[in-house]
Structure 1
């Protein structure tokens, strides 16, 4: 007998960094019309994934939604999925965090809606075989993958759409195929694609077509409240195709009459991830793991490294279970998918929010009764090269031996990472303590790309000294110059001593500039002060953190340049960072080093100063 089962789902996962006002607009424009229409079509079951933070927001602001949804679950019109509480990219997380997030959402769904989830949603359907253990270990029986994954396995066209089972270490997981491209076409009004796909799928009663719509953006989605959109679509499903039955996952599995094929899915490749998140895949992406994006996008890798480091700190916390639970919640909040996937302005906002959560988790993981400031070396960036980490009572400052630059500068009392500036179009990185050289014909030397060797790591005095050699061109030819950078870390300051030494060749004349990019959140969040009549001193006022950066240096007059940078991409006009670039005129000769000392003092502003914005 010919037939078809149709599985309809909606993913509801607005950014967790969204304000209450924005969520209210999202609720009334998209979610409320969706629930109202679903309630009127009891013969079209709906499968939902709702992120944990948004479920809790609904509990606080719209209990009527929770009540109606629970009633629809009781009459088996709606099935709610589990998954990661904070909408993470699950394969990216350490196994214990995967399990923690899944169990947290399972508990919340059961508490609010009265039913434990049987299946789990994977954001962007990114797959890794190790997920079998994580999902089944939390009591989940099935998940969803893109139909492309089934096609790559060689599943025949007559079986495309029918679930398969996969296994890992004796654990069995059922995988439903989802036709992602069809959902996008339907939301754009292309119902011809729907009709064609349905007619192609008609066959045995176990034939299945699964379509999931996404409600994960705050932008208005006309499809869910216009009569020609979701309502028309539900009418088509109800009466347009005799022999087609709408199901949810549990009812389909209960009525299935065929034995599912056993398959082993390979990890999602990089090209597939790029298509799912809307970024251009590089060459050879089909041959690379989805995790390759961490190599291609430095911002994502820095956050990932911070997340792994924080995970290790929180995991080692013993004794106070309430403190550990609070630290875990901050850690999980910092694992939201949107913070890691490069997605323009949204990723920019989400990434800094994630840094704030991870810094908060790190602070909670410390035992303040025994914690002492420390200077250590550790492969923080997970690149095979040890970085240098100063972890103080008020701030963290991490130095990369490549370039001798700071790539993370955390303020702990009001969690913030000042070194989280976006990449710019010029060659040198938008980091802190970047060394640049100029002569009359332009920039020369690339110390910021050189690996500095370790000269001294004095943990007791909290002193770090690095050195590197590079060539500088000039009117008199090419010369070799060594730069030595010594960092002295104090509780409220950082002192950097710079020594430039000409090793060979004729004298070299030009300018030495030290660039530092500090991200304050918005252009007007940081106020800059510099008096040319006081050439050795400048100040940045960080209003949200209530701090003054007092910056002093020793060597002669140095005009300080301050620029609020803007990208030249599609996001032109977006704030990038406050840039500070003191530039010194120098003349290097063999045997006579040029030495300067730059000091950053971090001073809290008084309440009157802060609120006055002075």
Structure 2
């Protein structure tokens, strides 16, 4: 009897990703894969395309879409469903996860005449909470990694096929992806893939599954030449079809022919690498050390089962910017539940739930500003639409509420020009300015965070070289270096890069500010407000804290008052210490721009960093056609610099301009009273 080989590809592009990037992915991967599949009439495979990508292909590459339809009409491609805009299903409300998956099922049914019974689980983030919702809308088969079962205590040799699981009596089939095949395909010669499958058959494996990123077939570094020019995919298909003991098969067909290998209950987890990526950086480094130590110990074969990282949702703790965006979508989904029969509102909400901007590993787009912008844009649109549907009279400052679900209240303001979000967790700091006419969050910057791979990169500093490896390697196996410039940009912020961040510091100097090497004396930078009051168009935050000098705490009270106008925020910052001291005070702002090359500072070309003395600091952004100005009553010193991050991605090392830090500073002895305006127009 032949062993069923269940082969599938998962293809995804974030909604409104750069069109040139999407076109490149189509040309390098999706289109040539479909062309090869079309020519091999006995090749059966499964496929998941996220909804936005399918719609993009239909609108921009009709030839590719029609070729995929031909294969579907021939009964050779089995479509898998998923959230239309590729959310992490367990991270969105129940009605949204059902709605997103049903939206893609209906789309596939409409254009291809199939009603998918299989589910591609985004980033294989498993949570049993999704089972009843998926079962309700007709999902029967769900893809996970073999790691999911190993983490549940199953020995590798027991993974002989697919399994069943249930939640609240709702039954689904679980298909584990064979990790060996995931790392062999398409990086090794087809003979090694066949050998792996036949060895599994000899161990009485009933079926074997390989379902992985379609981008591995052309988009990943060096893969296009290997997969298409040198013919790996074509030769792979022919070799499998010529093999007498292996046959391509669809998942739904396999369920009819093969009985399950057992019943399982899986822990909340994802693929193994995701568990490590979601750890805090120092813990991820320690994880790697322990793993390497165990590899040379008698417990080498027990590593996968007993050494586990964190869960996907820890990204929402690791990255406050991620949590803020995620909780805003959750909050709007709950508030706007009664308007989800409005297709436009629902579509905007769903778009904002795309997973890519919420996390970071080798993949994940948290450090890619365009992907964060593309999540904020539909959220801002949906929020504006909610205001109209609710007949909210603008402007209005809403009463404090825990929007972030972190135990601390936020204050959300709604205006005709922009909406704002103020935090109590970070004392009276402004974390969002949502421009309604541009659908752009002006504060969508990100702090410079330590990543586990930085330590290894800093040991491998050299001029950039292209990977000239003759044999294609998996992204997970690649070694990267950084240039001296990138190494100099690895700087860590110990606080969140918001607006109206208070510092009582040793010296207000550009160099130490940019390197975050100044000495902070106070507890006002990253500690919560004691109280917040909302009256009419005014918000008042208070904190009784301290300035710590020479091992002494000087009791200090700071009040921050904001008055919200149509296109401006008037601010008044007061501080009073219990005794005279010598330090500098600084108020910090962090702005995000789509392209910093298009901004000017006080009508002069932006040069990366600098200082200005005056009463007004003005940024003009040509892209937004907006002027952002900070105005104070007395002449003061302003400094500014570009906020860079150094991060790893599937294409290498990215040095990314995340925004602009602007700060003003002055000497502080005992009392101060600063009045000013942040205007946008």
Return the TM-score normalized by structure 2: 0.80
Deviation string 1:379-430 (CA, Å, 9 cap, x unpaired) is 1221111122222232222222223211222112211112221213233431
Given that residues 338 and 346 in structure 1 are in contact (C-alpha distance below 8 angstroms), is that contact kept between their aligned partners in structure 2?
Answer: no
Match of 1:340 among 353, 358, 369: 358
1:246, distance to aligned residue in structure 2 (A): 1.4
Aligned pairs for 1:196-235 within 5 A: 196-203=195-202, 207-216=206-215, 219=220, 221-222=223-224, 223-235=226-238
Give the aligned length.
587
Asked if 1:453 is matched to 2:526, the reply is: no
Residue in 1 that maps onto 2:113: 114
Structure 1 residue ranges without an equivalent (≥5): 604-614
Aligned pairs for 1:352-501 within 5 A: 352-367=373-388, 369-372=391-394, 373-401=396-424, 402-424=426-448, 425-439=492-506, 442-454=519-531, 457-473=533-549, 479-501=554-576
Question: In 1, Cα distance between the equivalents of 2:598 and 2:446?
Answer: 17
Shift in CA distance, 172/413, structure 1 to aligned 2, threshold 3 Å: same
SS of structure 1 residue aligned to 2:669: strand
Match of 1:522 among 572, 581, 595: 595
Match of 2:257 among 255, 258, 261: 255
1:516, distance to aligned residue in structure 2 (A): 0.3
Question: In 1, Cα distance between the equivalents of 2:36 and 2:598?
Answer: 44
Match of 1:579 among 661, 664, 669: 661
Deviation string 1:325-368 (CA, Å, 9 cap, x unpaired) is 11111111111121111246764321221011111111111127
1:259, distance to aligned residue in structure 2 (A): 5.0
SS of structure 2 residue aligned to 1:107: helix
Given that residues 339 and 351 in structure 1 are in contact (C-alpha distance below 8 angstroms), is that contact kept between their aligned partners in structure 2?
Answer: yes
1:288, distance to aligned residue in structure 2 (A): 4.5
Residue in 1 that maps onto 2:4: 5
Asked if 1:541 is matched to 2:620, the reply is: yes
Question: In 2, Cα distance between the equivalents of 1:37 and 1:255?
Answer: 28
Shift in CA distance, 458/442, structure 1 to aligned 2, threshold 3 Å: closer
1:502, distance to aligned residue in structure 2 (A): 1.5
Given that residues 79 and 248 in structure 1 are in contact (C-alpha distance below 8 angstroms), is that contact kept between their aligned partners in structure 2?
Answer: yes
Residue in 2 that maps onto 1:606: none
Asked if 1:179 is matched to 2:198, the reply is: no
Residue in 2 that maps onto 1:302: 324
Deviation string 1:457-500 (CA, Å, 9 cap, x unpaired) is 133243323223112427x9653322111122222211111111
SS of structure 2 residue aligned to 1:100: helix
Shift in CA distance, 14/174, structure 1 to aligned 2, threshold 3 Å: same
Question: In 2, Cα distance between the equivalents of 1:471 and 1:586?
Answer: 11
Deviation string 1:9-40 (CA, Å, 9 cap, x unpaired) is 11111333334433333222222221122123
Asked if 1:95 is matched to 2:94, the reply is: yes
Residue in 2 that maps onto 1:78: 77
Residue in 2 that maps onto 1:608: none
SS of structure 2 residue aligned to 1:449: coil
Root-mean-square deviation (CA), in Å? 2.8
Residue in 1 that maps onto 2:466: none
Residue in 2 that maps onto 1:327: 345
Deviation string 1:176-202 (CA, Å, 9 cap, x unpaired) is 111245223222225565244213211
1:167, distance to aligned residue in structure 2 (A): 1.4
Given that residues 505 and 521 in structure 2 are in contact (C-alpha distance below 8 angstroms), is that contact kept between their aligned partners in structure 1?
Answer: yes
Given that residues 161 and 207 in structure 2 are in contact (C-alpha distance below 8 angstroms), is that contact kept between their aligned partners in structure 1?
Answer: yes
Question: In 2, Cα distance between the equivalents of 1:134 and 1:126?
Answer: 15
SS of structure 2 residue aligned to 1:426: coil
Match of 1:350 among 371, 383, 388: 371
Question: In 2, Cα distance between the equivalents of 1:469 and 1:156?
Answer: 55
SS of structure 1 residue aligned to 2:399: strand
Question: In 1, Cα distance between the equivalents of 2:430 and 2:160?
Answer: 50
Question: In 1, Cα distance between the equivalents of 2:19 and 2:656?
Answer: 24
Shift in CA distance, 551/134, structure 1 to aligned 2, threshold 3 Å: same
Deviation string 1:46-79 (CA, Å, 9 cap, x unpaired) is 1011111111122222333333322322322111
Given that residues 52 and 105 in structure 1 are in contact (C-alpha distance below 8 angstroms), is that contact kept between their aligned partners in structure 2?
Answer: yes
Given that residues 381 and 387 in structure 1 are in contact (C-alpha distance below 8 angstroms), is that contact kept between their aligned partners in structure 2?
Answer: yes
Given that residues 189 and 232 in structure 2 are in contact (C-alpha distance below 8 angstroms), is that contact kept between their aligned partners in structure 1?
Answer: no
Shift in CA distance, 568/262, structure 1 to aligned 2, threshold 3 Å: closer
Given that residues 270 and 288 in structure 1 are in contact (C-alpha distance below 8 angstroms), is that contact kept between their aligned partners in structure 2?
Answer: no
Shift in CA distance, 545/131, structure 1 to aligned 2, threshold 3 Å: same
Given that residues 272 and 286 in structure 1 are in contact (C-alpha distance below 8 angstroms), is that contact kept between their aligned partners in structure 2?
Answer: no
1:584, distance to aligned residue in structure 2 (A): 1.6
Aligned pairs for 1:26-45 within 5 A: 26-45=25-44
Shift in CA distance, 61/513, structure 1 to aligned 2, threshold 3 Å: same
Deviates more, 1:272-281 or 1:227-236: 272-281
Shift in CA distance, 345/374, structure 1 to aligned 2, threshold 3 Å: closer
Aligned pairs for 1:134-145 within 5 A: 134-145=133-144
1:153, distance to aligned residue in structure 2 (A): 3.6
Shift in CA distance, 517/265, structure 1 to aligned 2, threshold 3 Å: same
SS of structure 2 residue aligned to 1:563: strand
Question: In 2, Cα distance between the equivalents of 1:181 and 1:293?
Answer: 27
SS of structure 1 residue aligned to 2:403: coil
Deviates more, 1:379-388 or 1:186-195: 186-195
SS of structure 2 residue aligned to 1:207: coil
Residue in 1 that maps onto 2:641: 563
Deviates more, 1:120-129 or 1:53-62: 53-62
Return the TM-score normalized by structure 1: 0.88
Shift in CA distance, 377/87, structure 1 to aligned 2, threshold 3 Å: same
Question: In 2, Cα distance between the equivalents of 1:395 and 1:464?
Answer: 20
SS of structure 2 residue aligned to 1:332: helix
Deviation string 1:510-566 (CA, Å, 9 cap, x unpaired) is 321111011112212432217999822221223333222232112x32111122232
Deviates more, 1:108-117 or 1:147-156: 147-156
Given that residues 322 and 366 in structure 2 are in contact (C-alpha distance below 8 angstroms), is that contact kept between their aligned partners in structure 1?
Answer: no
1:270, distance to aligned residue in structure 2 (A): 8.9
Shift in CA distance, 51/411, structure 1 to aligned 2, threshold 3 Å: same
